[in-house]
Structure 1
Amino acid sequence: MSGHSKWANIRVKKTAQDAKRGKIFTRHAKLIEIAARAGGEEPSMNATLQTAIENAKAENVPNANIERAIKKGTGTLKGEEMAEIIYAAYGPGNTAYLIECLTDNRNRTLANIRSIIDKNGGRFAETGSVQWMFERKGLVVAEQSTWSDDVELELMDIGAEDIDRADGFVSVRTGQSDWTKVRDFFKKKECDVKESGLKYIAKDSIEITDPAMVEKINTFIEKIEEDDDVSDVFTNYSIFN
């Protein structure tokens, strides 16, 4: 039976927009730097940093780049300090968005994001007017191998709140403190973890059926994601087919 996927509104990874290798490296370096500053330089003691490093290595970021980003995050290597910023917007079809950015120049990023939103049928919004529509949750996406009721029960025992399986992948939503346990569970099962960490997940989704509106929304999202300072885009938009 066809229908909407509750995970379709989660933009967890930039893909086609990251075609240039240099851009991929820069984005991962920013994420590593932020993680190291927030939780320290030891991956074994900093789950966010460990995940950021693993994601970087999966996309062939050189070790030298990773080490330099960690040093910048901890302050042992001087440079422009990165900041995490969240912007909010409404897009075509009155869809809502939270836009996560990593930047060393707030004014540049704000001007760029405002311009992109205005030019593509959206409107900039106060963060608080949109953020209440989302929950901060752990999310782990892994390749699905074998599956059984026992696996589902094990996941629930370690903090899984919701489990969705589709197209060869399993997506597990958790509380903010449980995503590392789920990530490690899949690793022990030798499943390839595609994405893990804290994400903004819409409490309720807007289902869009009109193909023309779907195209407008997808273009809106793609234009935002093309900006170098954007790390993630979260929306309450869901395709219904």
Structure 2
Amino acid sequence: MAGHSKWANIQHRKGRQDAKRGKLWTKIIREITVAARDAGPDPSANPALRLAWDKATAANMPKDNILRAIQRGAGGGDDSHYEEIRYEGYGVGGAAVLVDCLTDNRQRTVSEVRHTLSKHGGNLGQDGSVVFMFKHCGQFMFAPGSSEDAIMEVALEHGADDVQTDDEGVIEVTCEPGQYTTLKKAFTEAGLEPELDGVVMKALNEVELEGEDAERMQKIIDLLEGLDDVQEVYTNAIMDEAE
């Protein structure tokens, strides 16, 4: 269906990330600080910090900002006691939602997430209610027209689990989370740059939404992503191209 173009969804997602870059930097800095605090300042020995560093680089964050955040976390300069929490729920049309948070106030965060969902036609679920609909994995999305043979060769040589090309020509590579950094480096060295990549919760089955339902679902996602304590939002909804 033209209205459910995966490529359009990827471009829309990337555009929203660019528009929110200032707030995105704040969230990544928090992620870097917590990772350095929990497992040390060496990215080569701290996978969580390595991922956060890659995320910061992808968001064009200056290296000095990254190093300051690492120093603050590893040196004990951050007095906040953040904890990682995942909330599960439903959006419009029964679409599943996962909300990953870093918070120093659990009550505040759950209240904000619950309010955002319920106000716009969703609801907060119990632990385990939707997470089984997603797979934790590394993911790389390449634009239509990319060299499928070149991507396939690098992917298979460096531990990818799967390479798929959809009807539009979007190439998706998935791997185990621990293989993500190795694969990302291999793609970069081969001159193959994905449109989007990261360690994600990939939806195993997608729910297609159109018209007002798509607009309402997009609003839920945007509002959740706008909450200070929310780091990532995942959904199995595929929304049409309506802005």
The answer, yes or no, to whether TM exceeds 0.5 is yes
Q: Which moved more, 1:19-28 or 1:139-148?
A: 139-148
Partner of 1:36: 36
What's the TM-score, normalizing by structure 1?
0.82
How far 1:235 moved relative to its partner? 0.9
Distance 1:114 1:176, change over 3 A: same
Q: Which runs of 5+ in 2 are unaligned?
A: none
Q: Alpha carbon RMSD of aligned pairs, Å? A: 3.3
How far 1:118 moved relative to its partner? 1.3
Contact 1:133 1:202 in 2 (8 A): yes
Q: Which runs of 5+ in 1 are unaligned?
A: none
Does 2:202 correspond to 1:201?
yes
- Give the whole-Å Cα distance in 2 for the aligned partners of 1:23 and 1:134: 26
Contact 1:34 1:82 in 2 (8 A): yes
* Aligned partner of residue 24 in structure 1, secondary structure: helix
> Which gives a bigger RCO, structure 1 or 2 (Cα 8 Å, sep 6+)?
1
- Give the whole-Å Cα distance in 2 for the aligned partners of 1:108 and 1:14: 29
After TM superposition, the runs of 4+ consecutive aligned structure 1 residues lying more than 4 A away are 1-15, 17-22, 142-146, 164-170
- Give the whole-Å Cα distance in 1 for the aligned partners of 2:100 and 2:117: 14
CA shift digits 1:9-40 (9 cap, x unpaired)? 89996753774665233111112123324442
Distance 1:40 1:112, change over 3 A: same
Partner of 2:223: 223
- Give the whole-Å Cα distance in 2 for the aligned partners of 1:110 and 1:181: 35
Contact 1:11 1:234 in 2 (8 A): no
* Aligned partner of residue 191 in structure 2, secondary structure: coil
Superposition map of 1:134-149 within 5 A? 134-141=134-141, 147-149=147-149
* Aligned partner of residue 127 in structure 1, secondary structure: coil
Contact 2:214 2:240 in 1 (8 A): no
Superposition map of 1:15-164 within 5 A? 16=16, 19=19, 22-141=22-141, 147-164=147-164
Q: Which amino acid aligns with 2:125?
A: A
Q: Which amino acid aligns with 1:137?
A: C
- Give the whole-Å Cα distance in 1 for the aligned partners of 2:33 and 2:163: 31
- Give the whole-Å Cα distance in 1 for the aligned partners of 2:150 and 2:62: 39
How far 1:219 moved relative to its partner? 1.4
- Give the whole-Å Cα distance in 2 for the aligned partners of 1:139 and 1:5: 18
Give the helix-richer structure, 1 or 2.
Answer: 2
